[in-house]
Structures are given as C-alpha cells and as structure tokens.
Chains A and B, each alone.
Chain A
C-alpha cells in the first residue's frame, strides 16, 4: 500500500532528464543593433504615463462592482433588512460568516417580519470576496461596498460584528429597535412600499 503512494518519477521522464544537455543561448551572437533595440523599450517607457499610484497618499476609485467589505443594509425607515436566515453562511465556500437568528419581540423589533439577525459576523481572514453570499441573500440585506482597506493588526479585529457591518443611518431613518411603519407588514417592506419613517416609530435622523 505504502509503495503506491510514492510518486513514480520516471513516469514523467524526469529521472532520465539530463540537465547538462539543455541548450545554452549564445549571447555573443546577438548583434549590437539588437542590443540597442532592447534599450529602446526602456527609453520609450520613460515618456509614458506612469501607472503607479502613490497609495496611501493617493487613492484611486475602484471599479463600480468591486467586491469590497460587506454592508448590512437597512429599510428606508431604519429597520434592518437582515432576517438572520443564514443563507449567506450556507452559501459561503470559506465558512467566513456566522449568523444567529432571533425572534423579533413585541416592543423590540429590529427587522420587519418575525425574525432578525441577532449575531452577524464576517471573518475577513477567511472571506475570499467571491460574492456568493450576496447572491444568496433573499432580502438584499447583504451587499458589498467598494471599501478594500481591511488590513489590521490582530485576528480579533478582522472578525467584523454586526455593528461594524451595518450601513449608516441615513436621513429619515430611525435607529432600531422600533415598530414597523403603521398599517404595514413585512411584505410592504419587501415590495419597497415603505419609503421613510413615521413619527410614531421614533425620532428620525435628520440631515
């Protein structure tokens, strides 16, 4: 059994390859003109536009669909879109996402509907930025931003918690927990019929 595991080098002809017989390029035969031609490439490049960017002093914008750090989005009234279904974690080929769902309680609502993501972690030491999680997300809660500056000094700091991933509160949003928009249910939210917060939901951010 053990012999079978030893690679048989002669199968590929490697054992018989004689390195000493490899052809050697004859440098002396190159003419002076050909040498000059080589230097011409170097010379010409001196007048080309330089591609080097002086990062981090200068930061170029990424392509619009660049796969950067994730963001957990909010509904226009501030409720979280994430329902804690774990489909992102399921889709993740690198096992980088950890989610724990929980029940939205009366008086303590984080998302429309029954369920919300109580714990949401992405481990950027594992994430390969493939974007399968984004495709899996049934509520468009998870999207990717163009942010790519994720280096840090400890492993712990590279596990992003829900607070780190949640999108900012924009104008008109009320920070959860708060009730749903009056006389709506979760399907109104998913259809995009809720476009802002209602005074009964709490004090909205204004700017």
Chain B
C-alpha cells in the first residue's frame, strides 16, 4: 500500500506511529512499510522488488536492514519492504549499521553471480536500477570465478516484449503487476532454485493490453520492448511530459525524443488518473506521425482534379474563396485538443457565421447532443476507488478506456466491489471484473437499464458513447441516475471528445457549456469575442451536415468510414477544406489540404472523461507544422473575419477567461425506447465495439503492437452454434444486403439473438464491409 493511499485514508483517522530510523525520529501512518518511512526521511534503501503500487513480496532481499523493537533486536537483518513500522522500532540501514551494509553487499554479489555482463548491449544500460545500485551498494569487485548460468536470449514472449532470462533478478514485479493490476496472469515464475525463471504459458503469448508496463517496471533489462530495442541510450533522449492522445482515460505520459524523432513513450505518474500505468496503445502507437503519407505542404486541387503543392498564402486564399459567402459547416473529429476545438468552435461561429459544428465522427444522435448539453458528469477515478458498485452501460472499459478498467479491476481485486455490465456478451474484460452481466440485444438496453436496482450515492455509473446507438438509452440512464443518486460518467473513446464539448464544438453548445438557446449565454460569448451577435439558429450535427446541401465544409481529423459507408461520396460533392496530418479519405476529395501538427509536435491539452485538463508540451521542437488553431486563425484572417487566435497559448488564455456557464441548462427531452427488431432463426442482431488494438489510423506503422491485437472472431451463442452445426474456429458468414464478412467463430456467453464482431479490426471493418455497426439485422450462416 502506498503512502499516497495511506495519505487519503488518514483523513478518516489513521493511527500514527513513531519510530527511529538511523537516529532520526519519524511519525507515519500505521501500516507504512519501513522502506517507505525511510524514504520520507530521505534515506534510500536499495531495492528491486519493492514497488509502491504492488503488494510487498520480499523477493529480491536487497533492502535488508537491522531492526530492533523495544530493545529486542531481530537476530538477522530483515527485508524493509515487507515490515510495517511499529512503535518503538529502531531501524538501522546500511548507513549506520555495518551488519546491514554487509548483508546488502552480499545480496548484491549473489544477484550479480548469474547476471551477465551485458550492460553495453542492454537497453536498460544507463537507467538500470541494478547497475546504479551495484555501484552504490555493491562490492567494487566480483569474487565469482565460475561459469555463469546462461539461457537462450532473447525470447519473444509477445510480438512487442522480449524476455532475457539471464538478466532477471526474480523480483516478481512483472508477475505481480500482471496478476494484481492488469488481471492478465499470462506471465509467471517457473522452476525453482538456480533455474527459476520468468516464463509464459506454452502456446499462450503475453498478449495483455498492459504488457508495456512490465517493461517499464522491470528493474533490470530482463523485459525489453521490441520497438525500442537498441535504439538509444538515456543520455540521447530529451524527455517531455505529455498526455496520451489515444483515448479519454487521460494518461500522463513521458515522450522521449532523439534528434527530432520520437523513440518511446512511457507512462507518467498521476495518482488521480493513471497512477503509474498506461496501456500498450498509448505506449507504442506513435509511429503514425512519421508515416510516409504525412502531408508536408499545403495543397490545392487543380483543374485536372489533382492536388498540387502550393504556398501557404495561395492555399489560404483558395480555401477562403471557397468558404466565403457559402453555406458551410465544420467537422472537428474527436481527436482535437481543447485549444484546437475552441479554435474550430470560434471559427465556425465568427468566420463562417454558423452553428453547424460537430466533433462526432462516429455514430451519434440528437438524444446524445441533448444529453451532453444537460447531464452533470461528476464521476471521477477517485469515485471508482470508493465505489460500492460500478455499473457499465454500453461500455467495455478494457477495450474503450483501458485505464478505467485498471481502476475498476484494482477495487475488484482489493475489495471485491460489485460490477454490473449491461452488454450483449461477457467480454474478457467483463469476465476479469467478475461482472454481473445483464444480457441485452443491441437496441434493447433501455429495459435493462431501468431494471438496475440497489444503487446508492456511492455507486458509479459509467456510460460509453455507444449508448447513443440505442434510442432512449441516455434518457433511461439519466432517469437511473436521478432515482439512485449515483455518480455518472460518460466515457467517449477518443481523447478530444470531452474537451470538444466544453469548447463548444457541438451544434447546441457554445464554449464553456453555454446553451445556444440561452440569449444571456450568447451575449456572454459575443462580448468575449467582440462580435455583434451569435446566431441562435440551431446548427446541424455531423449526419445532417453530410446529408444536407451545405456547399462547403472545414474538416479536421475525420475518417468518413467512421460515420457511414456513403459519407465519402456525399462529402465529395462539397467544397472541402481539410486540416490533416496524413493523406486520408478526406484529403482524397478535399479542394484544399492544409497540413497541421501531430500531437508530439504541438502543445495543448486534452480533457479526460472526468473533465480534468491534461496539458502537454510539444516534444519535437524542430518542426514547421503548426496546431490547427493557428491555421484556422490565418484562414479566418483571409476570409476577413478574424478569430485572433494566433497561438495555442492565446487560445488557452481566451478559453480560460471565458469560464464555465453557471446559468440554467435545458433539461433533456426524454425519449422512449423503440421496439426491438425481431429476428428469424438464421438472422441475428449485429452488435460490436472496437477492440483496443485494431485498424485505427493512429496505430499505423507499428507492427509489433498489431501483433498482440486480439484475433478477429465472430462471437455466437452456444445454441446458434448448434443450430449452424459449427464449433469454435469454424468459419461463419455474417451478411446483409450491403456485404458480408467471413471469419472464424467463437462460442461465447452472448445474448441468443445477437452476433458480435469487432467494429474495426483486421477483416472486420463493419462500416466498410456491412455498412452498419450495430442494432441491425444480419444473416448468419456457416461459411
């Protein structure tokens, strides 16, 4: 248990204990480990296995100290990472006790007996706790003259993690992490004695979504990442604190750059958000920014329909020409920073004079817009820590917000809290959470949500973005919250969505959650922006804009295949100004393409699902690419209606000065459920979500990561498998009038009327292949 946790508990009266360490008296909460109490005094006891977020193991024996309680000394030095302080305890570390010092040196010598002299070729060299502590607390020379134990090296335990068993000091940090934090015990200690080694189960690779953390916490170079292998030394790297751009979990990160090239990303520390962990996608998916199809200069489509590279003034003039005096709108995409979203929001309202702006590049509904404008989203990670019951609705935390999963799993592991999951099937994540599954057919969640009972004010309800695919779903959620008093969290998948709402990149809200229908709110914003008035005409959402006769659109990072199968064709009839980092389906049809900076190249902030702002700085300085907001500002100048946001900093300052709306909000119009689709024997209701590792465009270029993605499978129920006469692994064909997907099937604990497919995985890209993603009837047959 860490000091931080104990710190929070101390608010609820924790007994304090006083002890003496190296002659200094210290008072700490009861239960604090000796090693941590010493840390508080600034006394560093060497250690390998000890980690503040993992349960004590006492595996490496490096932290031996002399302990005496009430005049009675332990006969031998004790591991300070396993012994909690007690009143009257007198601890002597290596600094004051020659016995402890000798014991530590002895342990270090034993650990080094079988440790290879690999430092020059080891990735950990230069940042290695074993290297450092061998220098500070080891003997200066080895007395070992025998032959070191050797193993085959390195063994890939998954496509992204390599294991070098010779280097392992058997601290069990990786195995404890996998068991206690991730719930994926794919890695374990095998054999005994000198042959003890870390291993994986035969024929089952270490395909955990969190495997990268074991590389980060390994105190030696036994676990290393394939992508970073031999790429750099710590002194080559310039580290920048950053935030993860992949999902709404909001992880704090560290980006390490060598000569303008991102080489690795590590989990940062933030007790309120990701503690010290992150997921493999956040850690390893960053190569998209150096992809070959990166756009380097502005482009304008010429008379022959070809994009030609042009100068910035020329491109801006062409874009302004097309946008001026035409009915237009803005699609932001879900990955913009708060500052960029604010820029888009102001650009739409001031430069284009419209409320046609939407950040949602996915399935969405009017009900969702209303919900986002009115719901009070109060849940936080801390609420999960103290929750008695967590309800997941249309939300698979392991796939859609992996750090939320870790937080819930931690409480399931520690306190066995109750988890209820409203979903069509028991996913691996929901099995790990031992969730009580309320099986529903896609589109039929309303009844299930209404039937949830036993919630208290300490319960947490977490809703995913997919609930908008069910008419009446969000209304039912709000009613449940109202009746139970539980805390509500809405967790979108993409990092920019929550920030985009707050920045007003949605048709019915102005910056700071101000309702567009409220005249006082409009006056607020008009004053802040020094414009005469803001239009009160309700704007269109993404679908409406695509289907409308708008002549021009400004589009940020949007993939039309996330919205609908025919979105690209419909968009191609409009004048499109695309702000993109790479060539995409939108730049294919755009009239003007303006290159913008990727996340590592710009500063800004994301808002995580809790509403917490996650600021980050640019990690790569040597770039000419600029953030979206700066380019929008230049474009607005060209149009003749300036938005005056020349830098990210100015956008941040202006957005902060506007503040949040404290007036009344419209209450949500309650929608009722629609009738569930009935299916015949050879049909099923399609249901899906995106796996964490899939064909998402931000994961491009990272083959090692893709290697640990879950295999694309069609999940069907036992009775359906019997009816179709198939077994797990047999090919099944799911089809509708649009197209078909044939994949191996898996028999799972799924609702009888449903069939599940991954939404955007290899060979299973639903919008592309079937034209629909869920809540739609498909034919299921043996292939």
Select which of B120, B231, B232 is within 8 A of A87 by beta carbon.
Answer: B120
Asked if residues B230 and A84 are in contact (CB atoms below 8 Å), the reply is yes
Contacts A83-B120, A85-B121; A115 near B235 (Cβ below 8 A): no
Q: Is the interface of B mostly helix, strand, loop or mixed?
A: loop
A139–B125 CA distance with the chains assembled, in angstroms: 16
Q: Given known contacts A90-B233, A103-B229, A115-B230, is B120 in contact with A85 (CB within 8 Å)? A: yes
Rounded to whole angstroms, the CA-CA distance of A89 and B259 in the bound complex is 15
In the bound complex, residues from chain B placing their C-beta under 8 Å from that of A86 are: 232-233, 236
Minimal beta-carbon separation of A87 from chain B (angstroms):
6
Contact of A102 among B153, B230, B236 (CB under 8 A): B230
Q: Which chain A residues border B236 with CB–CB below 8 Å?
A: 86, 89
- Residues of A near B659 (CB, < 8 A) are none
- Decide if A138 is an interface residue (CB 8 Å cutoff): yes
Q: How far is the CB of A177 from chain B (nearest CB, A)?
A: 16
B235 and A114 contact, CB distance less than 8 A: no
Contacts of A84 in B (CB 8 A): 230
In the complex, which residue of chain A has the Cβ closest to the Cβ of B126?
A90
Q: Do residues B230 and A103 form an inter-chain contact, with CB atoms below 8 A?
A: yes
Question: Complex formed: what's the CA distance from A138 to B233 in Å?
Answer: 16
Name the CB-closest residue of B to A83: B121
Residues of B within 8 A of A85 (CB): 119-121, 125
Q: Does A100 contact B (CB under 8 A)?
A: yes
Given A83-B120, A83-B121, A85-B120, is A114 in contact with B154 using a C-beta cutoff of 8 Å?
yes
Output the nearest chain B residue to A138 by Cβ-Cβ distance. Answer: B120
> Does A202 make an interface contact (CB < 8 A)?
no
Partner of A100 from the list B120, B153, B231 (CB cut-off 8 Å) is B231
Within 8 Å of chain B (Cβ to Cβ): is A101? yes
Residues of A contacting B229 with CB < 8 Å?
A: 103
Interface string of B745-769 (1 = CB under 8 A from A): 0000000000000000000000000
CA distance A115 to B153 in the complex (A): 12
Please pick, from A90, A113, A138, the residue contacting B235 in the complex, using a CB distance under 8 A: A90
* Known pairs A86-B236, A90-B235; A113 contacts B121 (CB<8 A): yes
Residues of A within 8 A of B153 (CB): 114
A window 102-117: CB within 8 A of B: 102-103, 113-115
Partner of B121, one of A89, A90, A100, A114: A114
* Nearest opposing residue in chain A for B226, CB measure: A103
Distance between B118 CB and nearest chain A CB, rounded to angstroms: 9
Q: Among residues 193 to 248 in chain B, which have CB atoms less than 8 Å away from a CB atom of chain A?
A: 229-233, 235-236
CA distance A115 to B121 in the complex (A): 6
A86 to B236, CA, bound (A): 10
Minimum Cβ distance to chain B for residue A139 (Å): 8
Q: Find chain A residues with CB under 8 A from B235 CB.
A: 90
Encoded as 1 (CB less than 8 Å from any A CB) or 0, chain B from 119 to 161 comes to 1110001100000000000000000000000000110000000
Q: Tell me the minimal C-beta distance from A72 to chain B in angstroms.
A: 15
- Distance in Å: Cβ of B697 to nearest Cβ of chain A: 27
A115 contact set on B, CB distance < 8 A: 121, 230
Q: Which residues of A contact B120 (CB under 8 A)?
A: 83, 85, 87, 138-139
CA distance A115 to B119 in the complex (A): 12
Report the interface size class on chain A.
10 to 19
Residues of A within 8 A of B230 (CB): 84, 101-103, 114-115
Name the residue on A nearest B164 (C-beta).
A114
CA distance A102 to B230 in the complex (A): 5
Contact with B along A105-143 (1 / 0, CB 8 A): 000000001110000000000000000000000110000
- Nearest residue (CB) in A for B236 is A86
CB distance from B154 to the nearest CB of A (A): 7
Chain A residues near B125 (CB-CB < 8 A) = 85
CB contacts (< 8 Å) of A139 on chain B: these are: 120
Q: Give the docked Cα–Cα distance between A103 and B231 (Å).
A: 9
What A residues does B126 contact at CB under 8 A?
A: 90
A139 and B119 CA atoms in complex are apart in Å by 12
Give per-residue flags for A4-30: 1 if the beta carbon is below 8 A from chain B beta carbons, else 0.
000000000000000000000000000
What is the chain A residue whose CB lies nearest that of B153? A114
* Interchain CA distance A111-B126 in the complex, whole Å: 22
B726 to chain A, nearest CB (A): 39
What residues of chain B lie closer than 8 Å to A102, measured between beta carbons?
230
**B782 → A minimal CB distance (Å):** 41
Task: Please measure, in the bound complex, the distance between the C-alpha atom of A83 and the C-alpha atom of B121, giving whole angstroms.
Answer: 7
- Alpha-carbon separation in the docked complex, A207 to B126 (Å): 43
A138 surroundings in chain B (CB, below 8 A): 120
Q: How far is the CB of A142 from chain B (nearest CB, A)?
A: 12
| Complex Cα spacing A66 to B240, Å | 42
When distances are taken between beta carbons in the complex, the residues of chain A under 8 Å from B232 are 86, 100
Residue of A nearest to B259 (CB): A98
The answer for the CA separation of A100 and B261 in the assembled complex, in Å, is 13
Which B504-550 residues sit within 8 Å CB-CB of chain A?
none
Q: Which residue of A lies closest to B116 (CB)?
A: A187
Query: Interface readout for A71-94 with B: 1 if CB under 8 Å, 0 if not?
Result: 000000000000111110110000
**Complex Cα spacing A115 to B230, Å:** 7
- How far is it, in angstroms, between the C-alpha of A89 and the C-alpha of B230 when the chains are bound? 14
In the bound complex, how far is the Cα of B120 from the Cα of A86, in angstroms?
A: 8
A84 vs B230: C-alpha distance when bound (angstroms):
8
Measured CB to CB, the closest approach of chain B to A187, in angstroms, equals: 9
CA distance A194 to B153 in the complex (A): 22
Query: What CA separation (Å) do A174 and B229 show in the bound complex?
Result: 27
Contact residues in B for A114 (Cβ distance below 8 Å): 121, 153-154, 230
* Smallest beta-carbon distance B657→chain A, Å: 35
Cα A101 to Cα B119 in complex, Å, equals 14
Residues on B with beta carbons closer than 8 Å to the beta carbon of A90: 126, 233, 235
- A48 and B230 alpha carbons, distance in the complex (Å): 60
* Assembly CA distance A113 to B120 (angstroms): 11
In the complex, A87 Cα to B125 Cα: how many Å?
A: 10
Contacting residues, chain A, for B233 (C-beta < 8 A): 86, 89-90
**CB of A186, distance to nearest CB on chain B (Å):** 9
- Cβ of A159 to closest chain B Cβ, rounded Å: 14
A106 to chain B, nearest CB (A): 13
Which of B120, B125, B153, B231 has the most chain A CB atoms closer than 10 A to its own CB? B120
Q: Count chain A CB atoms within 10 A of each CB in B230, B233, B235 and give the residue with the most.
A: B230
Known: A83-B120, A85-B121, A85-B125. A101 touches B231 (CB 8 A): yes
Q: Which residues of B contact A101 (CB under 8 A)?
A: 121, 230-231
Distance (Å) between the CB of A83 and the closest chain B CB?
A: 5
Tell me the complex Cα distance, A87–B236, Å.
Answer: 12
Question: Contact flags (1/0) for A138-150 with B, using CB distance below 8 Å?
Answer: 1100000000000
The minimal Cβ–Cβ distance linking B120 to chain A, given in whole angstroms, is: 4
Bound Cα distance from A121 to B217, whole angstroms: 33
Taking CB as reference atom, which chain A residue is nearest B117? A138
B224 to chain A, nearest CB (A): 11
B262 to chain A, nearest CB (A): 15
Give A94 Cβ to nearest chain B Cβ, in Å: 14
Q: Beyond A103-B229, A138-B120, A139-B120: 5 further Cβ-contacts under 8 Å?
A: A89-B233, A90-B235, A102-B230, A103-B230, A113-B121
What are 12 pairs between A and B in contact, CB < 8 Å? A83-B120, A86-B233, A89-B236, A90-B126, A90-B233, A100-B231, A103-B229, A114-B121, A114-B153, A114-B154, A114-B230, A139-B120
- The 7 A-B residue pairs with the shortest CB-CB distance, nearest first, are A85-B120, A101-B230, A115-B121, A138-B120, A86-B233, A115-B230, A83-B121
Interface residues of A (CB under 8 A from B): 83-87, 89-90, 100-103, 113-115, 138-139
